[in-house]
Structure 1
Amino acid sequence: MRLPLYSLLGLLGLSNLVLGKALDNVFKVKKGTTLGGCDNYRTGQVNANLDAYFEEAQTIIKTASDAFGKYNTDVQVQKIAKSFFGITPNAKQDGPATTEDGNLLKHVQTWFVNLDNYAQGRSGKIPLYCNSDFLEQTTTVYTKGGTVRKNLVVSDDKAYGKMVPELKTKQYVAFWSRDLKEYYFGTPYTTKPPTYCADRRNIAVVTPMSTGKESISLCLCPAGFFNKANTLEAIDATNSDIGHALQKLETKSLSIVHELVHASEGPYETPDINAWGPLASIKPKIKGQPNPNWPGDTDKFVDMDREAYSAMDAILTAQATNPRQPTENTPENYAWAALAVYLAQNGAKMDYSTGLARPLGGPLVPPAPGGKKLRRDDGIVVAQNFTA
């Protein structure tokens, strides 16, 4: 649902309309309205309240990090950990994960702590842009000071030609940032202008710059992030309808949570869902999604007649049919798990561990899916409407 502006301001609080709070403590926010400038998106209006989105992301992350730290005594967190990360409690279901999953639990707990530290600005500031046109596709070689080296192209430069062999084969092209005096090397865009955000499906990206893993930038896209359809301006924690889908409570802040996982652990260490690989790919519209009548219909957790449309659906379907999915490094899992934790502790306090609202106190482990296995297709790219 979309909230009217007066409701939005009540939820977000008037304090969020003042510039220069938490956001500037964590990011070097590009000023102005051009070349990635964010001024238009810090006005406090609908689709333009970046400060409030970020503060909400901080709250979601802090809640989840604290909760996962209490895994052994929090049954609700155990259910969420099972659904989103495949972490199985011990046979008695009285807290600690099985020996097999103990290291996985520690990994997820550590990443949530790292994520919280990053969101609180304890790991140093990174540049934040609100459009990808701060990067200009080029073949020019620039010095560290930003001056041009004549008669040389990036792919032939000793500093980059050997470091990025994809430049030679034209798989990658160079993008230069006048602000950062650094390159980004990546696949060429076919859009006009040739930038990431020109593709309206793209939402946000953490970009590794040329000086290595420690040098990254975060970019939020005007159309994909700020004007993304079917996302809430702020958390709606009041919904208490049984069967309400978690994906319908997606907020803009959830995309920020996702991107901060990329930023805190490094973009190369945090593959998105569509990078799981051919054997783990889930077709966007395959049949097989958590049964809306569960736990009432206990015959099968996965309803073979329902279709999965979102990345969150793909996560839960994958875990239900193959709990050993490689999800412990996937930002999408952290984002949705964090929102599920938040909604279990606030507002109507519902259990979203199955992806659909049910009262707290339901079974810890969902029943096994029916005997029919889901069909898998190699090379399928997951639906475009996920939190990027």
Structure 2
Amino acid sequence: MNYFPNIENIRKAAGTISAVADTTPLLDSIRYSKLYNANILLKREDLHRVRSYKIRGAFNKISSLSAQERQKGVVCASAGNHAQGVAFACNHLGIKGTIYMPSVTPKQKVEQTEMFGGDWVTIVLEGDTFDDSSKAALQFCEEHQKVFVHPFNDPKTIEGQATVGLEAIHQSKKTIDYIFVAIGGGGLAAGLCGVFKALSPTTKIIGVEPAGAPSMKTSIENGVNTELVQIDKFVDGAAVQRVGDLTFEICKDYLDAVITVPEGKVCQTILDLYNRDAIVVEPAGALTIAALDQYAKQIEGKNVVCVVSGSNNDITRTAEIKERALLFANLKHYFIVRFPQRPGALKEFVAEILGPTDDITHFEYSKKSSKENAPAVVGIELKKPEDLEPLIARMKENNFFGDYLNNKPDLFQYLV
């Protein structure tokens, strides 16, 4: 494992991808700059025609293939964004591609991949995670002797992704003190290591992973590339069970830190970016901005770049995003409420148990017995987190309290 991205190869990659990928803007964020008393810049990789940086690595890799390899066709596995980059490259270069995607991939990403690939690509939905799809794709690739276009664990892919850093350095008016980068398999982070260690060695590179899929952080802590047994797939663009061997070796030596962000915090950041900045991002695209509060003291007065990696978000996920944000903020709570089986019990609960600003958002009840009390699953949204304890106290005092579900994940998932 002696590979390290060479700056000359990265510059060559920049020339290659210029045919299909415009330079993305590095924009000042007035709101976040004021919030953190720093110069916060957003590298808007969400503004590519495929709405993520993945087109850089995919096009650079596929462009490097020989005529014989192109004739055989290519195969890839992806949770969505790399698939779109490969699909676009296949269509642009006239190369047949087979694209494996997890069965849980948001519909929007599947449809976009079909659109970009046209008649040149075939999509296969396989497995529940990227890793499941990847195993199936590799097997198909071997059986049919096609070229596998890896989303992160390939030098050409890494060098293509690295052009993000090359652009950022040229665009920034001052030396970049910190750059925050989302990590899924580690291709972009590894590429940035190559760029900044060569051109701006004082820049601190901070990798950011979702708390439910900390594969790079875990691997670095263990000192060996480690496959996670279970992951939360919500941040689908950055949820892999095992990072690349190449990217791990680079990141463990050259990243300044790897931190994690709770999925609920990511969701709140998505909502804030949409409501306050008119920026649409997918969960992985919000990771770097959601991590800034963990470095609030270190970045004060500094020049900071956050890579906004993509905007392929499915609008049908909005309800789940809002729900996760409210749960993270301690504003959404679920209970088993035991209602006395007598007329007026619900009216009493609403009038005397709920606070004046509490709102029922979920109610599931069915009278199935003649018992004294019957349970209902009730979801309540609060205005302030501190309203929770008084609410529980009133429930208990009036014999309505059955159980609190938020801290019982198994029961929560089953009932809610």
Q: TM-score, normalised by structure 2?
A: 0.23
Larger gyration radius, structure 1 or structure 2: 2
Q: Select the structure with the greater relative contact order (CA < 8 A; seq sep ≥ 6).
A: 1
**TM-score, with length taken from structure 1:** 0.24
